[in-house]
Amino acid sequence: MADVTNRDIDYVAPAEVEEEELYHAHSWITKYVFSQDAKVIAIQYSLTAIAIGLVGLVLSWLMRLQLGFPDYFSFIDAEHYYQFITMHGMIMVVYLLTALFLGGFGNYFIPLMVGARDMVFPYVNMLSFWIYLIAVLVLVASFFVEGGPTGAGWTLYPPQTILSGTPGSDGGIVLMLVSLALFIVGFTMGGLNYVVTVLQGRTRGMTMMRLPLTVWGIFIATILALLAFPALFVGAIMMLFDKLLGTSFFMPAIVELGEQLSYGGGSPLLFQHLFWFFGHPEVYIVALPAFGIVSDLISVHARKNIFGYRMMVWALVAIGGLSFIVWAHHMYVSGMNPYFGFFFATTTLIIAIPTALKVYNWVLTLWQGDIHLTLPMLFALAFIVTFVNGGITGLFLGNVVVDVPLSDTMFVVAHFHMVMGVAPLLVIFGSIYHWYPKITGRMLNEGMGQFHFWVTFLGAYAIFFPMHYLGFLGVPRRYYEIGETMFVPDSAQTLSAFITVMTLIVGFSQVVFLFNLVWSLFHGEKADPNPWRATTLEWQTPETPPGHGNFGKALPIVYRWAYDYSVPGAKEDFIPQNMPPSKVSGKKKTKPRRAKRK
Amino acid sequence: MIVAFVLLLVVIGSVGFHLISPWWWTPIASNWGYIDDTINLTFWITGFVFVAVLTFMAYCVFRFRHTKGHKAHYEPESAKLEIWLSVLTSLGVIAMLTPGLFVWYQFITVPDGADEFEVLGQQWMWSYRYPGKDGRLGKTDPRNVTADNPFGIDTADPAGQDDVLVQGEDLHLPLDRPVKFLLRSLDVLHDFYVPQFRAKMDMIPGMITYFWITPTRTGTFDILCAELCGVGHHAMRGIVVVEEESAYKDWLAQQPTFAQSLAKANAGTRRVSTLNAGGSVR
Ligand code: HEM
Ligand SMILES: [Cu+2]
Ligand SMILES: [Cu+2]
């Protein structure tokens, strides 16, 4: 007991504080609900993100029904359509992918992979989830207020966002902005934890250059998020002021439907800069964890070290840094000073170089590997296909003058879905198949998994690949209907209907996936503690699923990097990071220690 | 085996789709063929990388798939290979960026002597203003907008009196003359977009933005709004007619000037304001 009473301040009650190594839950509520254990928080984050993600998925069906069959669905009017796109976009990018990768995967894997018992600040970590949950509830509430959710597009560009010509410009937009602000507050708490835990919580021997790339990806992405989200926070608060207090941060003099409004002097472009200063790094906040994770999936299932580990780390760092000086490539036709185009096109195309190197290193890891075509590996391969495709179209859009005809067309929609929608989601699926055995102690059903994989991969590709060509034609995005034009042939409508049918099929296969998640929890085959024979620490825990404190009595000591697969001379084709050198070439099969602990 | 085959099929299918797709650029009607050329160049370079990387991957999956007793080769890194790949990638990037920036410079540099006119966007309609006999557009301010002065032209500016106003009608442009579009919005963001011109630019209340083109063939083309501007966004359409200069001049002569339309309004024949016409979309 430490005596922390200060006799000089007698108006504050004296206190004695118990010293605690690690927080221990004492009741069911503190163990499973208001839990401070990163693994429980991770699952809470993931389930919430998946739940709200399902809303985003259903919205995409509704939008596709309208686009594929414009005259059939009278309940989808223009107002609803714009609300659907906005909520779909925001939900998918922020509330699903960001929350799942950082709040979900970050919480589960950072402590386990760096060899820590928990996050460094468990209490703040718990708060992070609960604030996220409130942010999600506020977002959901906006569906039920008068006027409905905002229909301003996920970019929320003023002035239209808060003017009456846009659906949901009263309650809807206010709740959206409040929800975003809450999300950022909650994320910051979690994010600080992830960064500090990687920097301070590593076990003995776990140097930075021995970290698995999964941790590197999440680590760099979190740093980006901590630096980028404040820009959105500022934008959201200022816009709230413009909406509620009548200030004019983003509002110039405006004549709305013949009526002079009392705004004046603000700058719509300022908001766009703030938004994209957040928005571009956001793309990488979603992409970098996927980069990291997929590197590990490929390495484990090809039984080969990731090719060029150091290059992979530096590429992550370089991409992260560069991602802060490319934001205005989203604004080439925004009316900003056109000379910015030279700078931002150059930085944008430079970022392609470290990105391309990562792709090369993934496929070079396959070269001379021992490729097990397991489900995680299949998803990793599919990721490479969609990421290469989406990355390439990014070179079109980044090259300022090429962007002029293509921006704001379906080409853009196809591009960003391929690169930041489908590609990261495929990694998420792959990692769920990979780590589910560790998290639940059971394997996912293989048959359902195969069905899910093939339909999702080929279906999503068939949705978004042809969509680029609608963009070449000049079909604009965010159009409730294209109607009669002199340049879009009727066949384009047939293509659009095909895309819609594929969307519904891919959507159905997600239902199978969810069913698999639940079914396998009870009926799945019992999993080995290390079914993929992987080297990283999360597979070496004494219990599966890992217990409170992760590693039993003693923390593991790390002797090597995370990629000792198929090392010549070693008995097994993998050497766990915590295996001492003396045991590597031993004659008998070395098993990870199994400390018994009740 | 099957997996490698499907990966290969994806590559072949993508390239095949590209080659036989009936959906491609609408025929161009402006001088920006350079943009199409840059895109074609980008297609060649990136298409090559796409095919090379994915075919290599499919080959690896085929060749190095797990079989009994097979063991992976241990090779942490190869600095030489990585440097080579970086250099080649950089060359590819330079090959795309250099022409891109060159064309961008042309795109933002308006030739001397280009005709100027103004496009005015508002929810959810387009209007146009030509400079009139003096060749100059009058000053504007949204604070001046009234039912009789929908463009918000400064009545004290003599340059504004002879401005030619086009409302609720098609836009006409003369063939083969460089023209600078001055873009202005009264309410929210819009974006003036004609697919055949290969050009577009946002319109921002409180600012004047621009782009320029030279129309290279006569015809009638759709004008679309390409920046989400509220619930009528998709219905914010217009038509641009590119015609021989003489036909264009005849058309322009029939349009009212600002002075004429003001006089008409003051004469008591107060027309119903066209300002609110767009409101019916909602
Ligand atoms: C199979 C799944 C999906 C389908 C079928 C789908 C479909 C659509 C459609 C039809 C639109 C409207 C396009 C338009 O502007 O006309 C859209 C917009 C959008 N989607 Fe998706 N989407 C899917 C998944 C995702 C995912 C995973 C993400 C995460 C990055 C995402 C992010 C967005 C964004 C940011 C927008 C733009 C919203 C806006 O314009 O404001 N989508 N999606
Ligand atoms: Cu970006
Ligand atoms: Cu518009």
> Partners of B212 in the beta sheet?
B180
Q: Which of A83, A413, A428 to mutate for ligand 1's pocket (most ligand atoms within 8 Å of CB)?
A: A413
Q: What pLDDT score does B268 carry?
A: 57
The sheet carrying B190-194 orders its strands as: B171-174, B237-243, B219-225, B190-194, B199-203
**Could you give phi then psi for residue A572, rounded to 5 degrees?**
-95, 165
Provide the percentage of residues in chain A whose pLDDT is more than 70: 94
Contact predicate A481/A496, CB 8 Å = no
Residue B202 contacts A, CB cutoff 8 Å: yes
> What per-residue confidence (pLDDT) applies to A29?
82
Q: How far apart are CA A547 and CA A538, in angstroms?
A: 11
Contacts of A11 (CB under 8 A, 6+ apart): none
Q: Which mutation among A94, A157, A176, A417 tests ligand 1's pocket best, with the greatest number of atoms within 8 A of CB?
A: A417
pLDDT of B231 > 50? The answer is yes
Three-state SS letters, chain B: CHHHHHHHHHHHHHHHHHHHCCCCCCCCCECCHHHHHHHHHHHHHHHHHHHHHHHHHHHHHHHCECCCCCCCCCCCCCHHHHHHHHHHHHHHHHHHHHHHHHHHHHHHCCCCCCEEEEEEEECCEEEEEECCCCCCCCCECHHHCCCCCCCCECCCCHHHHCCEEEECCCEEEECCCCEEEEEEECCCCEEEEEHHHCEEEEECECCCEEEEECECCCEEEEEEECCCCCCCHHHCEEEEEEECHHHHHHHHHCCCEHHHHHHHHHCCCCCCCCHHHHHHHC
Partners of B81 on chain A (C-beta within 8 Å) are: 364
Cross-strand partners of A459: none
Q: What pLDDT does A544 receive? A: 87
Model confidence at A17, pLDDT cuts 50, 70, 90, reads: low
Omega of the bond prior to A159 within 30 degrees of 0, cis? yes
Distance from CA of A474 to the nearest CA of B (A): 6
Atom 8 in ligand 1: which residue has the minimum CA distance?
A60
Residue A3 confidence (pLDDT)? 56
Q: How many CB atoms lie within 10 A of CB A11?
A: 4
Nearest CA to ligand 1 atom 35: A89
| Beta-carbon contacts of residue B68 (< 8 Å; ≥ 6 apart) | none
User: Over pLDDT 70: what percentage of chain B?
Assistant: 95
Ligand 1 atom closest to Cα of A476? 16
**pLDDT grade for B266, boundaries at 50, 70 and 90:** confident
pLDDT band per the 50, 70, 90 thresholds, residue B77:
confident
B143 close to A (CB below 8 A): yes
Which of B49, B100, B225 has its CB closest to that of A345? B100
Residue B203 in contact with residue B189, Cβ under 8 Å?
Answer: yes
Domain spans in chain B, listed from the N-terminal domain onward: 2-64+78-108, 115-271
CB contact under 8 A, A472 and B232: no
Distance CA A512, CA A516 (A): 6
Taking an 8 Å cut-off on Cβ atoms, the answer to whether B183 and A335 are in contact is: yes
Interface test with A, best of B24, B66, B185 (most A CBs within 10 A): B66
CA dihedral A483, A488, A491, A495 (to 10 degrees): -80
Find the mean pLDDT for residues A430-443: 96
Average pLDDT over residues A461-490: 94
Residue numbers in A near B4 (CB within 8 A)? none
Would the ipTM clear 0.95, i.e. be above it? no
CA B215 to chain centre: 14
Q: Chain A contact for B153, CB < 8 A?
A: no
What is the average pLDDT value for chain A, to the nearest integer?
92
Q: Where are the alpha helices (DSSP H) in A28-116?
A: 28, 38-68, 78-90, 107-114
- Give the ligand with the smallest distance to the CA of A68: 1
C-alpha to C-alpha distance for A533 and A540, rounded to whole angstroms: 10
**pLDDT given for residue A548 in this prediction:** 87
CA distance B135 to B140: 16
At residue A590, does pLDDT exceed 70? Answer: no
Rounded to the nearest angstrom, the minimum Cα separation between A389 and chain B is 7
**Span B230-241, mean pLDDT?**
95
For A496-550, how does the pLDDT look when each residue is reduced to its tens digit (9 = 90+)?
A: 999 999 999 999 999 999 999 999 999 999 999 999 999 999 999 999 899 988 9
Q: Which residues of A touch B93 (CB under 8 A)?
A: 349-350, 352-353, 395
pLDDT value at residue B274: 43
Determine the residue among A169, A250, A366 to mutate to test chain B binding: the one whose Cβ has the most chain B Cβ atoms within 10 Å.
A366
What's the distance, CA B172 to chain centroid? 18
Please report how the helices A340-366 and B33-63 are oriented relative to each other, as an axis angle in degrees rounded to 10. Answer: 20
Q: How far apart are CA A420 and CA A286, in angstroms?
A: 7
* Closest-CA residue to A432 (of A421, A419, A420, A448): A448
Of the residues A69, A84, A85, which should be mutated to test ligand 1's pocket, given the most ligand atoms within 8 Å of the CB? A85
Question: Given this model, what pLDDT does residue A589 score?
Answer: 43
Task: Name the closest-CA residue to atom 27, ligand 1.
Answer: A421
| A552 burial type by CB count under 10 A (0-12 exposed, 13-18 middle, 19+ buried) | middle
Q: Are the beta carbons of A115 and A537 closer than 8 angstroms?
A: yes
Tell me the per-residue pLDDT of A370-413, one tens digit each, with 9 for 90 and over: 999 999 999 999 999 999 999 999 999 999 999 999 999 999 99
Beta strand B179-185 pairing with B190-194: unpaired
3-state secondary structure of A260: strand
Q: Are strands B199-203 and B171-174 parallel, antiparallel or unpaired?
A: unpaired
Contact A469 B100 (CB under 8 A): no
Segment A222-232 mean pLDDT: 97
- Distance CA(A246)–CA(A521), nearest Å, equals 53
Q: Which range, of A95-109, A209-223, B61-75, B255-269, averages the lowest pLDDT?
A: B255-269
Question: In terms of Cα–Cα distance, which of A396, A554, A218, A548 is closest to B41?
Answer: A396
Least confident segment among A401-405, A541-545, A575-579, B66-70: B66-70
Number of A:B CB contacts under 8 A?
Answer: 331
Which residues have a Cβ under 8 Å from the Cβ of B203 and sit 6 or more positions away? A335, B119, B121, B183, B184, B185, B189, B190, B191, B192, B209, B227
Q: Do B90 and A353 touch (CB under 8 A)?
A: yes
Q: pLDDT value at position A22?
A: 67
Q: Is the pLDDT of residue A5 over 60?
A: no
Model confidence at A122: pLDDT above 90:
yes
The verdict on domain B115-271 having CATH code 1.10.760.10 is no
Nearest CA of chain B to the CA of A539: how many Å?
Answer: 21
Cis peptide before A545 (omega within 30 of 0): yes
Q: B273 in contact with A at a CB cutoff of 8 Å?
A: yes
> Residue A244: its pLDDT value, please?
96
Residues A172 and A146: their CA atoms lie apart, in Å, by 8
Residues 6+ apart with CB under 8 A from B16: none
CA angle A121–A125–A130, rounded 5-degree value: 155
Which residues are near ligand 1 (CB < 6 Å)?
A: A 60, 63-64, 67, 85-86, 88-89, 92-93, 97, 153-155, 413, 417, 420-421, 425, 460, 463, 477-479, 503, 506
Q: Is the pLDDT of residue A15 over 70?
A: no
pLDDT-based confidence at residue B75 (cuts at 50, 70, 90):
confident
The pTM (predicted TM-score) of the whole model is 0.93
Assign B79 a pLDDT band (cuts: 50, 70, 90). confident
Q: Span A556-561, mean pLDDT? A: 93
- Are B230 and A333 within 8 A, CB to CB? no
Nearest residue in B to A347, CA atom: B97
Record: contact A352-B85, CB cut-off 8 A:
no
How far apart (Å, rounded) are the C-alpha atoms in residues A477 and A466?
Answer: 15
Q: What is the pLDDT of residues A483-493, one digit of tens each?
A: 889 999 999 99
Helix, coil or strand: residue A61: helix
Does B69 reach chain A within 8 Å, measured CB to CB?
A: no
For residue range A266-305, list pLDDT tens digits in order. 999 999 999 999 999 999 999 999 999 999 999 999 999 9
> A168: distance to nearest CA of chain B, Å?
10
Ligand 1 centroid to A291 CA: how many Å?
A: 21
- How far apart are alpha carbons A294 and B191 in whole angstroms? 39
Rounded distance between C-alpha atoms, residue B209 and residue B185, angstroms: 10
Instruction: Tell me if A232 sits within 8 A of A275, measured CB to CB.
Output: yes
pLDDT at A27: 82
Assign A522 to helix, strand or coil: helix
Does B278 have pLDDT greater than 60? Answer: no
**Nearest residue in B to A561, CA atom:** B76
Tell me which chain A residues have a C-beta less than 8 angstroms from the C-beta of B100: 345, 399-402
Q: Determine contact, residues B214/B179, Cβ cutoff 8 Å.
A: yes
Q: Quick one: DSSP state of residue A442?
A: B
Amino acid symbol at A493: Q
Cβ-based contacts of B22 with chain A (< 8 Å): 489, 491
**Phi and psi angles of residue B257, each rounded to the nearest 5 degrees, phi first:** -85, 170
The answer to whether the CB of A416 falls within 8 A of the CB of A397 is: no
